[in-house]
Amino acid sequence: MARLKMGMVGGGIDSFIGDVHRKAASIDGMIDMVCGAFSSSEEKSIASAKALDVPRAYGSFEDMIRAEAKLPKDERMDFVAIVTPNYMHFPPAKMALQHGFHVICDKPVTLTLEEAIALQKIVNSTGKVFALTHNYTGYPMVKQAKAMISKGDLGDIRKINIHYLQGWLSTAIEKTGQKQAAWRVDPKKSGIGGALGDIGTHAENLVEYITGLKINELAADVTAFGEDRILDDDGNILLRYTNGAKGTMTFSQIATGEENNLGIRIYGTKGSLVWHQENPNQLVVRWLDRPMQIYTPGGNDIYPEAAKYVRIPAGHPEGYLEGFATIYSNFAKEINQINTGKSQSTSPDFPTINDGVRGMKFIYAAVESSKQNASWIKI
Protein backbone atom coordinates (compact mmCIF):
# COMPACT_ATOMS: atom_id res chain seq x y z
CA MET A 1 0.00 0.00 0.00
CA ALA A 2 1.31 3.45 -0.93
CA ARG A 3 2.18 5.54 2.09
CA LEU A 4 -0.06 8.53 2.67
CA LYS A 5 1.10 12.07 3.39
CA MET A 6 -0.12 13.83 6.48
CA GLY A 7 -0.27 17.54 7.26
CA MET A 8 -0.86 18.52 10.87
CA VAL A 9 -2.69 21.48 12.38
CA GLY A 10 -1.46 22.17 15.91
CA GLY A 11 0.76 19.70 17.74
CA GLY A 12 3.97 21.65 18.21
CA ILE A 13 6.83 19.83 19.87
CA ASP A 14 5.58 20.55 23.39
CA SER A 15 2.09 19.28 22.69
CA PHE A 16 0.93 16.09 24.33
CA ILE A 17 -1.71 15.07 21.87
CA GLY A 18 0.20 16.13 18.77
CA ASP A 19 2.96 13.73 19.68
CA VAL A 20 0.43 10.97 20.29
CA HIS A 21 -1.07 11.51 16.84
CA ARG A 22 2.35 11.47 15.21
CA LYS A 23 3.44 8.25 16.91
CA ALA A 24 0.09 6.62 16.24
CA ALA A 25 0.26 7.61 12.59
CA SER A 26 3.73 6.10 12.24
CA ILE A 27 3.30 2.71 13.90
CA ASP A 28 1.80 0.79 11.01
CA GLY A 29 4.07 2.30 8.39
CA MET A 30 1.26 3.68 6.26
CA ILE A 31 1.71 7.39 6.84
CA ASP A 32 4.46 10.00 6.57
CA MET A 33 4.15 13.49 7.94
CA VAL A 34 5.07 15.95 5.23
CA CYS A 35 3.96 19.30 6.57
CA GLY A 36 2.43 21.09 9.49
CA ALA A 37 0.97 24.33 10.78
CA PHE A 38 2.24 23.46 14.22
CA SER A 39 1.70 26.87 15.74
CA SER A 40 0.05 30.16 14.98
CA SER A 41 3.55 31.60 15.21
CA GLU A 42 5.35 30.84 11.98
CA GLU A 43 8.66 30.87 13.78
CA LYS A 44 7.51 28.26 16.26
CA SER A 45 5.95 26.21 13.53
CA ILE A 46 9.25 26.13 11.65
CA ALA A 47 11.13 25.22 14.81
CA SER A 48 8.78 22.31 15.44
CA ALA A 49 9.09 21.13 11.85
CA LYS A 50 12.86 21.20 12.14
CA ALA A 51 12.90 19.31 15.41
CA LEU A 52 10.52 16.75 13.96
CA ASP A 53 12.38 16.53 10.66
CA VAL A 54 9.21 17.48 8.77
CA PRO A 55 9.81 18.93 5.28
CA ARG A 56 7.32 21.80 5.13
CA ALA A 57 6.18 24.21 7.85
CA TYR A 58 3.44 26.82 7.71
CA GLY A 59 2.44 29.68 9.97
CA SER A 60 -1.29 28.98 9.72
CA PHE A 61 -3.64 26.24 8.65
CA GLU A 62 -4.96 28.54 5.95
CA ASP A 63 -1.48 28.90 4.46
CA MET A 64 -0.92 25.20 4.66
CA ILE A 65 -4.15 24.19 3.00
CA ARG A 66 -3.79 26.74 0.22
CA ALA A 67 -0.15 25.96 -0.45
CA GLU A 68 -0.55 22.20 -0.34
CA ALA A 69 -3.55 22.33 -2.65
CA LYS A 70 -1.31 23.91 -5.27
CA LEU A 71 1.35 21.21 -5.10
CA PRO A 72 1.38 18.35 -7.57
CA LYS A 73 -0.92 15.56 -6.52
CA ASP A 74 1.87 13.13 -5.70
CA GLU A 75 3.65 15.67 -3.54
CA ARG A 76 0.93 17.35 -1.58
CA MET A 77 -0.51 16.08 1.63
CA ASP A 78 -3.34 13.53 1.42
CA PHE A 79 -5.05 14.49 4.65
CA VAL A 80 -5.02 16.92 7.52
CA ALA A 81 -4.72 15.86 11.17
CA ILE A 82 -6.27 18.41 13.51
CA VAL A 83 -4.90 18.28 17.05
CA THR A 84 -5.73 21.78 18.32
CA PRO A 85 -8.03 22.75 21.21
CA ASN A 86 -11.75 22.32 20.50
CA TYR A 87 -12.46 25.84 19.26
CA MET A 88 -9.86 25.38 16.54
CA HIS A 89 -11.35 22.19 15.07
CA PHE A 90 -14.09 23.52 12.86
CA PRO A 91 -12.26 26.18 10.85
CA PRO A 92 -9.39 24.00 9.60
CA ALA A 93 -11.66 20.97 9.15
CA LYS A 94 -14.08 22.93 7.02
CA MET A 95 -11.39 24.53 4.89
CA ALA A 96 -9.44 21.29 4.43
CA LEU A 97 -12.51 19.38 3.31
CA GLN A 98 -13.49 22.13 0.98
CA HIS A 99 -10.03 22.09 -0.57
CA GLY A 100 -10.25 18.38 -1.22
CA PHE A 101 -8.36 17.03 1.75
CA HIS A 102 -9.49 14.22 4.00
CA VAL A 103 -9.52 15.06 7.69
CA ILE A 104 -8.78 13.27 10.93
CA CYS A 105 -9.66 15.31 13.99
CA ASP A 106 -9.35 15.11 17.74
CA LYS A 107 -12.45 15.04 19.92
CA PRO A 108 -14.90 16.51 20.74
CA VAL A 109 -15.47 17.27 17.12
CA THR A 110 -16.19 21.01 17.44
CA LEU A 111 -16.77 23.84 19.88
CA THR A 112 -20.56 23.86 19.44
CA LEU A 113 -23.32 21.56 18.31
CA GLU A 114 -24.12 23.97 15.49
CA GLU A 115 -20.60 23.67 14.14
CA ALA A 116 -20.80 19.89 14.33
CA ILE A 117 -23.99 19.80 12.30
CA ALA A 118 -22.53 22.23 9.77
CA LEU A 119 -19.42 20.07 9.51
CA GLN A 120 -21.53 16.97 9.00
CA LYS A 121 -23.10 18.63 5.99
CA ILE A 122 -19.70 19.61 4.60
CA VAL A 123 -18.34 16.09 5.02
CA ASN A 124 -21.37 14.66 3.28
CA SER A 125 -21.30 17.18 0.45
CA THR A 126 -17.55 16.92 -0.21
CA GLY A 127 -17.47 13.15 0.02
CA LYS A 128 -14.16 13.29 1.81
CA VAL A 129 -13.18 10.90 4.59
CA PHE A 130 -13.54 12.29 8.09
CA ALA A 131 -12.31 10.41 11.15
CA LEU A 132 -12.64 11.38 14.79
CA THR A 133 -10.04 10.04 17.19
CA HIS A 134 -12.17 8.33 19.80
CA ASN A 135 -9.13 6.15 20.11
CA TYR A 136 -10.41 3.80 22.81
CA THR A 137 -12.47 2.01 20.18
CA GLY A 138 -9.17 0.93 18.66
CA TYR A 139 -8.19 -1.56 21.36
CA PRO A 140 -8.50 -5.22 20.28
CA MET A 141 -10.38 -6.17 23.44
CA VAL A 142 -12.91 -3.42 22.75
CA LYS A 143 -13.38 -4.88 19.28
CA GLN A 144 -13.82 -8.31 20.88
CA ALA A 145 -16.41 -6.94 23.29
CA LYS A 146 -18.32 -5.36 20.42
CA ALA A 147 -18.18 -8.58 18.40
CA MET A 148 -19.39 -10.72 21.31
CA ILE A 149 -22.37 -8.47 21.96
CA SER A 150 -23.18 -8.11 18.31
CA LYS A 151 -23.28 -11.90 17.90
CA GLY A 152 -25.57 -12.23 20.90
CA ASP A 153 -23.11 -14.02 23.16
CA LEU A 154 -24.22 -11.99 26.16
CA GLY A 155 -27.95 -12.08 25.33
CA ASP A 156 -30.03 -8.93 25.68
CA ILE A 157 -28.19 -6.08 27.33
CA ARG A 158 -29.93 -4.82 30.45
CA LYS A 159 -27.43 -2.86 32.51
CA ILE A 160 -24.36 -0.77 31.74
CA ASN A 161 -22.03 1.09 34.10
CA ILE A 162 -19.30 3.22 32.63
CA HIS A 163 -16.76 5.38 34.41
CA TYR A 164 -13.98 7.66 33.28
CA LEU A 165 -11.95 8.95 36.19
CA GLN A 166 -8.93 11.22 36.16
CA GLY A 167 -7.39 13.24 38.96
CA TRP A 168 -5.14 15.70 37.18
CA LEU A 169 -7.48 18.66 37.77
CA SER A 170 -7.86 17.90 41.49
CA THR A 171 -6.00 21.10 42.22
CA ALA A 172 -6.23 24.35 40.27
CA ILE A 173 -3.28 23.63 38.02
CA GLU A 174 -4.80 25.85 35.34
CA LYS A 175 -3.70 28.75 37.55
CA THR A 176 -0.10 27.57 37.46
CA GLY A 177 0.27 28.03 33.74
CA GLN A 178 -0.28 24.39 32.82
CA LYS A 179 -1.36 24.77 29.20
CA GLN A 180 -3.32 21.53 28.90
CA ALA A 181 -5.44 22.57 31.86
CA ALA A 182 -5.76 26.23 30.90
CA TRP A 183 -7.67 25.80 27.66
CA ARG A 184 -9.74 22.92 28.94
CA VAL A 185 -11.32 25.04 31.70
CA ASP A 186 -11.98 27.96 29.35
CA PRO A 187 -15.46 27.85 27.75
CA LYS A 188 -14.25 29.91 24.80
CA LYS A 189 -11.77 27.22 23.88
CA SER A 190 -13.47 24.13 25.23
CA GLY A 191 -17.20 24.74 24.65
CA ILE A 192 -20.03 24.26 27.14
CA GLY A 193 -18.65 21.00 28.49
CA GLY A 194 -15.51 20.65 30.58
CA ALA A 195 -14.72 17.11 31.64
CA LEU A 196 -17.98 16.27 29.91
CA GLY A 197 -16.51 17.13 26.54
CA ASP A 198 -12.98 16.05 27.25
CA ILE A 199 -13.65 12.58 28.61
CA GLY A 200 -17.43 12.20 28.90
CA THR A 201 -17.71 12.02 25.13
CA HIS A 202 -15.11 9.24 25.07
CA ALA A 203 -17.28 7.30 27.50
CA GLU A 204 -20.44 8.00 25.51
CA ASN A 205 -18.80 6.96 22.28
CA LEU A 206 -17.29 3.82 23.79
CA VAL A 207 -20.52 2.54 25.27
CA GLU A 208 -22.48 3.06 22.06
CA TYR A 209 -19.67 1.54 20.00
CA ILE A 210 -19.37 -1.60 22.09
CA THR A 211 -23.04 -2.25 22.68
CA GLY A 212 -24.45 -1.03 19.38
CA LEU A 213 -27.15 0.63 21.51
CA LYS A 214 -28.06 4.30 21.56
CA ILE A 215 -28.54 6.39 24.65
CA ASN A 216 -32.16 7.50 24.53
CA GLU A 217 -32.26 9.89 27.45
CA LEU A 218 -30.16 10.97 30.38
CA ALA A 219 -30.39 12.69 33.75
CA ALA A 220 -27.14 14.45 34.56
CA ASP A 221 -25.72 16.07 37.66
CA VAL A 222 -22.50 17.78 36.64
CA THR A 223 -20.40 19.93 38.92
CA ALA A 224 -17.49 22.32 38.86
CA PHE A 225 -15.66 21.45 42.06
CA GLY A 226 -12.47 23.36 41.29
CA GLU A 227 -12.19 26.86 42.64
CA ASP A 228 -13.34 29.50 40.13
CA ARG A 229 -14.11 26.90 37.53
CA ILE A 230 -16.96 27.65 35.14
CA LEU A 231 -17.00 24.33 33.36
CA ASP A 232 -17.79 20.98 34.94
CA ASP A 233 -14.88 18.89 36.19
CA ASP A 234 -17.06 16.06 37.45
CA GLY A 235 -20.39 14.47 36.72
CA ASN A 236 -22.79 11.64 37.41
CA ILE A 237 -25.42 10.59 34.90
CA LEU A 238 -28.35 8.18 34.78
CA LEU A 239 -28.80 6.67 31.34
CA ARG A 240 -31.62 4.93 29.52
CA TYR A 241 -30.94 3.16 26.27
CA THR A 242 -33.23 2.63 23.30
CA ASN A 243 -33.62 -1.10 23.99
CA GLY A 244 -34.69 -0.58 27.59
CA ALA A 245 -31.29 -1.08 29.14
CA LYS A 246 -30.37 1.30 31.95
CA GLY A 247 -27.19 2.42 33.56
CA THR A 248 -24.87 5.02 34.93
CA MET A 249 -21.99 7.11 33.75
CA THR A 250 -19.62 8.77 36.15
CA PHE A 251 -16.70 10.89 35.04
CA SER A 252 -14.30 13.17 36.79
CA GLN A 253 -11.09 15.07 36.45
CA ILE A 254 -10.95 15.74 40.19
CA ALA A 255 -10.85 12.06 41.16
CA THR A 256 -7.63 12.47 43.08
CA GLY A 257 -4.97 9.92 42.26
CA GLU A 258 -6.73 8.42 39.27
CA GLU A 259 -4.69 8.45 36.12
CA ASN A 260 -6.84 7.49 33.14
CA ASN A 261 -9.32 5.08 34.62
CA LEU A 262 -11.85 4.42 31.88
CA GLY A 263 -13.83 1.28 32.51
CA ILE A 264 -17.07 -0.35 31.54
CA ARG A 265 -19.31 -3.14 32.84
CA ILE A 266 -22.04 -4.49 30.57
CA TYR A 267 -24.64 -7.01 31.70
CA GLY A 268 -26.77 -9.12 29.40
CA THR A 269 -29.20 -11.93 30.02
CA LYS A 270 -26.59 -14.61 29.27
CA GLY A 271 -23.34 -13.04 30.30
CA SER A 272 -21.50 -9.87 31.11
CA LEU A 273 -18.18 -8.24 30.45
CA VAL A 274 -15.78 -5.83 32.07
CA TRP A 275 -13.01 -3.87 30.40
CA HIS A 276 -10.54 -1.35 31.83
CA GLN A 277 -8.45 0.94 29.71
CA GLU A 278 -5.51 0.89 32.10
CA ASN A 279 -5.24 -2.88 31.66
CA PRO A 280 -6.47 -3.01 28.09
CA ASN A 281 -5.33 -6.47 27.11
CA GLN A 282 -7.78 -8.30 29.32
CA LEU A 283 -11.48 -8.68 28.67
CA VAL A 284 -13.25 -10.26 31.62
CA VAL A 285 -16.37 -12.18 30.67
CA ARG A 286 -18.73 -13.72 33.19
CA TRP A 287 -21.35 -16.27 32.28
CA LEU A 288 -24.62 -17.52 33.60
CA ASP A 289 -23.40 -21.10 33.53
CA ARG A 290 -19.61 -21.22 33.20
CA PRO A 291 -16.65 -19.89 35.19
CA MET A 292 -15.45 -16.39 34.45
CA GLN A 293 -13.16 -16.13 31.45
CA ILE A 294 -10.42 -13.70 30.58
CA TYR A 295 -9.89 -13.08 26.90
CA THR A 296 -6.59 -11.71 25.63
CA PRO A 297 -5.46 -10.41 22.24
CA GLY A 298 -3.76 -13.24 20.46
CA GLY A 299 -5.31 -15.72 22.88
CA ASN A 300 -7.91 -18.38 22.23
CA ASP A 301 -11.45 -17.68 20.96
CA ILE A 302 -10.88 -14.16 19.70
CA TYR A 303 -13.27 -13.23 16.92
CA PRO A 304 -11.78 -12.20 13.57
CA GLU A 305 -13.27 -8.74 14.04
CA ALA A 306 -10.82 -8.27 16.92
CA ALA A 307 -8.00 -10.59 15.91
CA LYS A 308 -7.25 -8.61 12.78
CA TYR A 309 -6.20 -5.68 14.95
CA VAL A 310 -3.69 -7.63 17.03
CA ARG A 311 -0.18 -6.72 15.92
CA ILE A 312 1.98 -8.96 18.07
CA PRO A 313 1.71 -12.40 19.66
CA ALA A 314 -0.25 -13.14 22.80
CA GLY A 315 1.30 -11.84 25.99
CA HIS A 316 3.15 -8.99 24.32
CA PRO A 317 1.06 -6.07 25.53
CA GLU A 318 -0.17 -3.45 23.13
CA GLY A 319 -1.07 -0.07 24.55
CA TYR A 320 -2.67 3.27 24.00
CA LEU A 321 -0.59 4.22 20.99
CA GLU A 322 -1.41 0.98 19.19
CA GLY A 323 -5.14 1.47 19.79
CA PHE A 324 -4.80 5.01 18.53
CA ALA A 325 -2.82 3.75 15.55
CA THR A 326 -5.72 1.51 14.58
CA ILE A 327 -7.89 4.59 14.04
CA TYR A 328 -5.19 6.10 11.85
CA SER A 329 -4.64 2.90 9.92
CA ASN A 330 -8.30 2.28 9.24
CA PHE A 331 -8.61 5.91 8.15
CA ALA A 332 -5.58 5.48 5.87
CA LYS A 333 -6.96 2.26 4.40
CA GLU A 334 -10.22 4.02 3.65
CA ILE A 335 -8.40 6.81 1.82
CA ASN A 336 -6.36 4.28 -0.12
CA GLN A 337 -9.52 2.46 -1.05
CA ILE A 338 -10.86 5.66 -2.54
CA ASN A 339 -7.52 6.53 -4.11
CA THR A 340 -7.51 3.18 -5.84
CA GLY A 341 -10.90 3.84 -7.31
CA LYS A 342 -13.13 1.91 -4.94
CA SER A 343 -16.19 3.43 -3.36
CA GLN A 344 -16.28 4.73 0.19
CA SER A 345 -17.30 2.35 2.97
CA THR A 346 -20.77 2.85 4.35
CA SER A 347 -19.76 1.83 7.85
CA PRO A 348 -16.00 2.08 8.23
CA ASP A 349 -14.45 0.84 11.48
CA PHE A 350 -13.42 4.23 12.81
CA PRO A 351 -15.45 7.04 14.40
CA THR A 352 -16.93 9.43 11.87
CA ILE A 353 -18.56 12.83 11.77
CA ASN A 354 -21.79 11.14 12.86
CA ASP A 355 -20.11 10.08 16.07
CA GLY A 356 -18.91 13.64 16.41
CA VAL A 357 -22.40 15.08 16.12
CA ARG A 358 -23.68 12.50 18.57
CA GLY A 359 -20.97 13.44 21.07
CA MET A 360 -21.97 17.11 20.85
CA LYS A 361 -25.63 16.22 21.37
CA PHE A 362 -24.59 14.24 24.41
CA ILE A 363 -22.72 17.24 25.85
CA TYR A 364 -25.68 19.54 25.20
CA ALA A 365 -28.18 17.12 26.69
CA ALA A 366 -26.09 16.60 29.81
CA VAL A 367 -25.55 20.33 30.36
CA GLU A 368 -29.25 21.02 29.83
CA SER A 369 -30.29 18.21 32.16
CA SER A 370 -27.96 19.41 34.83
CA LYS A 371 -29.32 22.95 34.57
CA GLN A 372 -32.76 21.46 35.12
CA ASN A 373 -31.61 19.68 38.27
CA ALA A 374 -31.02 16.35 36.54
CA SER A 375 -34.28 16.13 34.65
CA TRP A 376 -34.46 13.62 31.85
CA ILE A 377 -33.36 14.98 28.48
CA LYS A 378 -33.46 13.00 25.27
CA ILE A 379 -30.38 12.92 23.08
Touching a copy of itself, residues 15-34 (CB under 8 A): 16, 19-20, 22-23, 26-29, 33
Q: Cβ closer to a copy of itself: 99 or 286?
A: 286
Candidate segments 5-13, 55-63, 67-75, 282-290, binder of a copy of itself by CB under 8 A: 282-290
- Should residue 318 be labelled a site residue for a copy of itself when binding is judged by CB under 8 A? yes
- Should residue 52 be labelled a site residue for a copy of itself when binding is judged by CB under 8 A? yes
Q: Cβ closer to a copy of itself: 53 or 74?
A: 53
Rounded to an integer, what distance in angstroms lies between the CA atom of residue 97 and that of residue 80? Answer: 9
Q: Tell me the closest approach of the beta carbon of residue 254 to a copy of itself, in angstroms.
A: 6
Residues 6+ apart with CB under 8 A from 35: 5, 7, 8, 49, 54, 55, 56, 57, 58, 64, 68, 77
Q: Whose CA is closest to 251, among 284, 279, 218, 273?
A: 218
Q: Cβ closer to a copy of itself: 78 or 234?
A: 234
Q: Which of 112, 216, 250, 354 binds a copy of itself (CB under 8 A)?
A: 250
If you write DSSP's letter for every residue of 255-274 in order, what string do you get? -TT--SEEEEEEEESSEEEE
If you write DSSP's letter for every residue of 27-55 in order, what string do you get? HTT-EEEEEEE--SSHHHHHHHHHHTT-S
CB distance 63 to 41 below 8 Å: no
Rounded to an integer, what distance in angstroms lies between the CA atom of residue 124 and that of residue 12? Answer: 30
Q: Tell me the closest approach of the beta carbon of residue 91 to a copy of itself, in angstroms.
A: 27
The count of residues interacting with a copy of itself (CB under 8 A) is 93
Residues 219-238 touching a copy of itself, rule: CB under 8 A, are 219, 221, 223, 225, 234, 236, 238
- Should residue 279 be labelled a site residue for a copy of itself when binding is judged by CB under 8 A? yes
Residues 155-184 touching a copy of itself, rule: CB under 8 A, are 155, 158-159, 161, 163, 165-168, 170-171
Residues 6+ apart with CB under 8 A from 79: 4, 5, 6, 7, 96, 101, 102, 103, 104, 129, 331, 335
Using only C-alpha atoms, the chain has a radius of gyration, in whole angstroms, of: 20
- Should residue 272 be labelled a site residue for a copy of itself when binding is judged by CB under 8 A? yes
Residues 6+ apart with CB under 8 A from 68: 7, 35, 56, 76, 77, 101
Residues 76-135 touching a copy of itself, rule: CB under 8 A, are none
Q: Cβ closer to a copy of itself: 230 or 288?
A: 288
Q: Cβ closer to a copy of itself: 44 or 311?
A: 311
Q: Cβ closer to a copy of itself: 91 or 155?
A: 155
CB distance 260 to 221 below 8 Å: no
Longest dimension (CA), the chain: 64
- Should residue 347 be labelled a site residue for a copy of itself when binding is judged by CB under 8 A? no
Q: Tell me the closest approach of the beta carbon of residue 162 to a copy of itself, in angstroms.
A: 11
- Should residue 298 be labelled a site residue for a copy of itself when binding is judged by CB under 8 A? yes
- Should residue 293 be labelled a site residue for a copy of itself when binding is judged by CB under 8 A? yes
